[in-house]
Amino acid sequence: MKYAFFQGCNIPVRIQQYALATEAVLNKFGVELQVMRDFNCCGYPMRNVDEKSYILPSVRNLAVAEKAGLDIMVICNCCFQSLKKAASIMAKNPELAAELNGMLAKEGLRYTGATTIKHYLTVLHTDIGIAAIKEKLVYRFKGLNSAVIHGCHLLRPREIMGFDDSFVPKITEDLMAVAGATSLDWLGRLECCGAALAGFNDELSIRLLNEKISGAKAAGAQYITPICSYCHLQFDTAQVNSLKDESAAEPFPVLLYPQLLGLCLGIDAASLGLAQNQTITSQHISNLTALLGPPVEEKKSRKKAKATS
pTM: 0.94
- pLDDT of 166: 87
Question: Would you kindly state where each structural domain of the chain is located, as residue ranges?
Answer: 2-119, 137-291
Cβ contact 172:150 at 8 Å: yes
Task: Confirm or reject CATH 3.40.50.970 for domain 2-119, answering yes or no.
Answer: no
Residue type, 138: V
How many whole angstroms separate alpha carbon 61 and alpha carbon 209? 32
254, β-bridge pairs:
224
Residue 30 sits at φ, ψ, to 5 deg, of 70, 20
pLDDT per residue of the chain (309 residues) written in tens, 0 to 9: 999 999 999 999 999 999 999 999 999 999 999 999 999 999 999 998 999 999 999 999 999 999 999 999 999 999 999 999 999 999 999 999 999 999 999 999 999 999 999 999 999 999 999 999 999 999 999 999 999 999 999 999 989 999 999 889 999 999 999 999 999 999 899 999 999 999 999 999 999 999 999 999 999 999 999 999 999 999 999 999 999 888 768 999 999 999 999 999 999 999 999 999 999 999 999 999 999 999 987 655 555 555 555
Right CATH number for 137-291 from 3.30.420.10, 3.40.50.11810, 1.10.490.10, 3.10.20.30?
A: 3.40.50.11810
| DSSP per position, 9-56 | THHHHH-HHHHHHHHHHHHTTT-EEEE-TT----SGGGTTT-HHHHHH
